[in-house]
Every structure is written in C-alpha cells, then in structure tokens.
A = this chain, B = another copy of it.
C-alpha cells in the first residue's frame, strides 16, 4: 500500500515545513518507495539550465572532476539540483520506471516510456548515483540516477520520429508557440518581437498558420542576420529590422504596415530590457500583448499602458499550456525548413 501524496509534492518537503518543493531548502530524495501519485524516472541526462551550468563550470575552473563534486554536493544538501547561486534548475530526460497506484490508470504514460520532464530541476527530487559524461557545449550531463515527477508535474513523451536532441531543443520553449496557437485568430495582425530567435521562429510559424491568408504576421528582428534567417523561412508577411527598445519608430513602422490599424496580438519573445512600451504601442486598444520574455518588467508594463491610456490586455507568459509539447513538435514535423534550422542551430 503506497502512501498518499500531495498533488504538488509537499509530502516530500523536509525543511521548511509547509512550503512548496521549489522554495524548500531540502526535499526528500529517498526513492526506495514512491507515493501513490508519483512517477519514478530512471534518469539518463540532466539538461542543466544554462545560467546554472555556466556558473558551476566557472566555480570549477572548467575541471570536470570539480564539476561533479559541486553537483553531488548540491543534491546531497537539497535532495534536488537547484543551483544555490543562480536559483535555477533545468530539465531531465529519462525512462518511466514506476507509476503510483493512484494515477497509473489515468495518465497517458506507461513503464518504459521515454520522457522529458518540463518542470524545473529546482523542484524535482533527484538522486545521482554516478556522473558518466559532461557535455559542456550543450549544458548536458549524463548520469545514473533516479528522479520523481509529482502529479502536478508536466512532461513530454519523446517522439520516435525525430532525434532526441531535436525534440528537446523545441520542447524547451514549447509554451510560446502553444500560447500563440490559442491567441491568434484568422485575419489577425500579429507582431512577433524577436521573431528570428528560437521561440520567435516557432511563434511566427504558428501565428501565420492561425492568422491565415487574411491575416498579417510581422516579424521584428534585432539584426540583419536573424532577419535573413526569418525571411528565408517565409512564414512572415513582413520582416523588419528595428531596435525593439524604441517605441516611437516601431509604432510608426507598424502603422505603415497595417494601414494604421496596429496589431491584434503582439508576442514578445526578445530577452532584452525595455521593450514593454514598444509592445503596448504596436497593439490595438482592444488587442493582446503576450509577454513571453523573462526580461519583462511588471511595473513597466502596468504603468506603461496606463501612461498612454491603452486598454490593451497584457498577459504574463506561462511556459505551460495544455498540449504545448504536441503543438510544438508538430511544427517540426510539418515544416522541413524549420526542422532544418533547429537541427543546425540547436540540436
């Protein structure tokens, strides 16, 4: 009889009591028994968050034995791989080894499935038995070990029709294109800020698919190089090279490209500061700005819209939405040009 677990994994929190696993200082990584709503994973690869891996590598002076020591130490102290200096985690790849009795008949996983967890390592119970290989260039570490996915945790089954690393590179940003799919309607004018980047390209593809022939998708890029890449993909009706921190010139350009209508949906995928006002001004008063960039400032967005009397709806990017993994992988299946670029650049 397995013990009954909490949906969010609070049953694994050792200290401080009562918090969620993410902010906890220490969680229980004993995996000899699992709770009734947990999934036990036989881990193959840790995909360490880029900020975290860069930090650990620097502390180790690039020495692999020292990197191993730091990683073992993090997990020994916390029961999870939350980098204490950056606060960040990463994701992992592994095989389902056991599924708790309370959920085994209601989820679409079975023992033996290969999955990527799409929740942060900063909240995932982890035990490392052995570190086998460190691939510094792509922040990946192969291990022998086990991890627990909580009932609320999200995951994606690794598809068998494409290489693992290709799937992982797209799943990493799966939220953005899936939210685009939910927001964009036929006939919409859509602006994708940072359209030539990794999530930007996926969003441009999805936006054009949803806006259709009566819609207009505009990709804004910060450099000629990324603009050329985006133009060659041929998803966008217009590709422009402009500084996204300059609201006035961007507004004038968007007015020109939309016959003064502005955009129904603006998706901000660019990880630089001070692009909130540009996003707001480019969007219709009744439109939606979707901030997927982690560089977004809440107060700049809130006060910015008020300052120019805009009634725009501003949404905080949520990395998860129902079906996000499927929507994103489907893009790579449908579009050989996109798949080729992802293979060249990220896989």
Q: Which chain A residues have a beta carbon within 8 Å of chain B's beta carbons?
A: 8, 10, 18-20, 22, 118-120, 122-123, 152-154, 175, 246-249, 277, 281, 291, 294, 296-299, 301-322
The residue in chain B whose Cβ has the minimal distance to the Cβ of A120 is B307
Quick check: A315 and B313 within 8 Å, CB to CB? yes
The residue in chain B whose Cβ has the minimal distance to the Cβ of A249 is B18
* Contact pick for A175, options B19, B306, B322, CB 8 Å: B306
Q: Assuming A249-B18, A302-B294, is B320 touching A310 (CB within 8 A)? A: yes
Quick check: A318 and B314 within 8 Å, CB to CB? yes
* Contact pick for A301, options B248, B316, B321, CB 8 Å: B316
The residue in chain B whose Cβ has the minimal distance to the Cβ of A118 is B306
**Complex interface: chain B residues within 8 A of A318 (CB):** 302, 305-306, 310-314
Quick check: A20 and B248 within 8 Å, CB to CB? yes
The residue in chain B whose Cβ has the minimal distance to the Cβ of A10 is B248
Quick check: B298 and A309 within 8 Å, CB to CB? no
CA distance A294 to B306 in the complex (A): 13
Shortest CB-to-CB span from A153 to chain B, Å, is 6
Q: Assuming A294-B302, A316-B314, is B249 touching A154 (CB within 8 A)? A: no
The residue in chain B whose Cβ has the minimal distance to the Cβ of A246 is B18
Quick check: A320 and B306 within 8 Å, CB to CB? yes
CA distance A248 to B302 in the complex (A): 28
* Contact pick for A19, options B19, B123, B248, B296, CB 8 Å: B248
The residue in chain B whose Cβ has the minimal distance to the Cβ of A274 is B23
CA distance A10 to B315 in the complex (A): 27
Instruction: Give 17 pairs: A residue, B residue, CB < 8 Å, sorted on A.
Output: A8-B308, A18-B249, A20-B277, A119-B306, A119-B307, A120-B303, A120-B306, A122-B307, A153-B309, A154-B306, A294-B302, A298-B316, A301-B316, A302-B317, A311-B320, A314-B316, A315-B315
